Each structure stands twice: as structure tokens, then as C-alpha cells.
Structure 1
Amino acid sequence: MARAAPSLSNDDIAARFERLYRACYQDLLGFALRRTDRPEGAADVVADTFLVAWRRFHEIPPEQARAWLFGVARNVMSNHRRADRRSAGLAERLRQELTQVTTVEPEVPEEIRRAFRSLPESDQELLRLVAWEGLAADDLALTLGCTVNAARIRLHRARRRLAAALREPSLNR
């Protein structure tokens, strides 16, 4: 009857993983850099490879860990390429679809348009979210990542600045 391998403590596993990482990182990075178009892509491949290695640490053959990691890296690159192809296909379909879409800006008198454009971008966005997108205060708060009270205060201030801009003599030509 075969004996079960002695179980390792979490500290032992972490130390062994760190040694594996230090021993193989540069080799895997070079491998990925030679096979990807962008350094960020290579970094992603290496990171995902070591993530798989961490999750499946007990499956790594001790005498062939480096070769095992290269096999994982090849699979990770294949997965990344498939995801890139799917993403590119989806982006192309979306581009085709968006060529058929037309946007309609509301009819606004020129003096209001000028006053609106004179506001800070943050005020313009708040007012657009409410006027064009129809968001209520609670929806606005969620969109902005703030409390409902803070959203109401920001909206109130933006409206006040718009009213002040409308009263500016330079806009009333």
C-alpha cells in the first residue's frame, strides 16, 4: 500500500512557492515576451501562470516544475489569444452596430448652450445625467458613488451656477 505524501504547512508551501517563483520568473517572462505583442500581455501571462501554479501547487512535479510552468504558460497564452479574438470580434460587431445609431441632442437655445458650456465639466455632467438621462437623486448618487444628500447638494450647486451663468451680461448678446 502506497503512503500518502506528508502534508506541508502553509508556511512550507509559501516558502516553496516563493523559491519556485524566484527561480522561474525571469525565464517565464522572457518566454512570454517573445510570444506576445505587448509587455503588459507578457506580464499578464506570467501572473496568470503563477496563479495557476499557486492553486495547483500540489500537482507540480517537483523535479519538473520549470517545464510544468512552461506548459501552463503556453495554455494561458492560448486562452489569452482566444479571449483577444473573441473580444476583437465583439468589438467589430459593436462598431458595425454603432454605425447605425444616431444620437439626438435636445434643441437648446444658443444662450443656454453657451452658459452650459461655461460651466465646469463636472457640473455639465451632473446636469446631463439629470436632464438628458433622467436620473433621479438616488440614481445620481449611485452613479457618482456618493450619498443621496451629497448628490442633491452637488446638483443644487450646479443648477445655481447655471442660473448665474445665464444672468451673465456677456451671454445676453
Structure 2
Amino acid sequence: MSAPSPSPRPAQPELLEFDALYRREFAYVWRMLRAHGVPEARIEDAVQDVFMVVYRRWADWQADSRALAPRSWLFGIARRVAANHRRRQARESRPPDLALVAEAEAPADERTARRRALARLERALDELDERSRTVFVLAELEGMTGPEIAELVGEKLNTVYWRLRTARAKVTKKLQARGGQP
């Protein structure tokens, strides 16, 4: 049995398109991964993983590009990569997150306060199921509307609104229980 052949590389014009997509959507992919629970220490690897998938699947996406917008495609890939990174982190019994250790040891200044607030938010988001977390992140952090989210995640609009309402309530409750403001 012969070894599988490597995926074909995009042709030069497609490589330029890939580069343009990378430059245009890097920050979006970074935010999506971070919002989906990829620890800051692993975020660069996760972004690279997303764009490696994009590179390998470029020809497939180009063939179907009329059916799927670039951000929708990147969102789906980023969500799967984030889930893989979270599973990998759970398997590797790693020491506590360095951001949390730094939070406990750092002086109480504005930067530390922001870091603590972000850590509280991340812990609250970690307690949401994946679908609710996705809707919350897209609405609250990305500023997307209900109809935009429904289209992106492929759910009914009323379901999106229900998930958002319950996610907001859960996050608010968790933040208040931990001494943070909603």
C-alpha cells in the first residue's frame, strides 16, 4: 500500500488569495479561538492550526465558495480547532494556567484588574455548553445580530435568542457569585 499523496498546494493566484484571507481574518480567528476557550499560551498554535486546515482545504472551499462565506467557513474550522485544543489540554494534566498564577501574585493595578475580570469571564464561559457559549461570544464579543448568528450556526432564530438569553443569565449569575460585575 502506498503512502497517501500530500494535498496539492494552491496555485500562485490562489496562494495570493490565501495570503489576503489570512491577513484580513487573522484577528477574527484569534478572537474566536480565545472566546472558545483556547488558553492564551496556546492561541498562536491554534491560529496556525486553523490556517493549516484552510490551506489544505483551499481547493474544496473554492469549489463551494458560493455556498459558504469566508467567515462562516473560518468560524467552523476555529470552533473545531478550539474544541480539539481544549480536549488536548484536559488530557495533559498541566500545571495551573500561568495567567491565574500571575493574577494571584500581581499587584492590584488596572491591568491586573482587567486580567482578573477576563479570567472570571473565561471561567463563567467554561461552564456554558458549547452552543450557548458560541451564541454568547458571537453576540456579546463580536457584536453580531441574532439573524447573523442564526445563519452562521445554522439554527432557528428563536433558538439563538433563547440560547443568548439563558447564557447571559448564567454568565451574569456566575460573575456576580464571584464578585464581578455583569
TM-score in terms of structure 2 length: 0.41
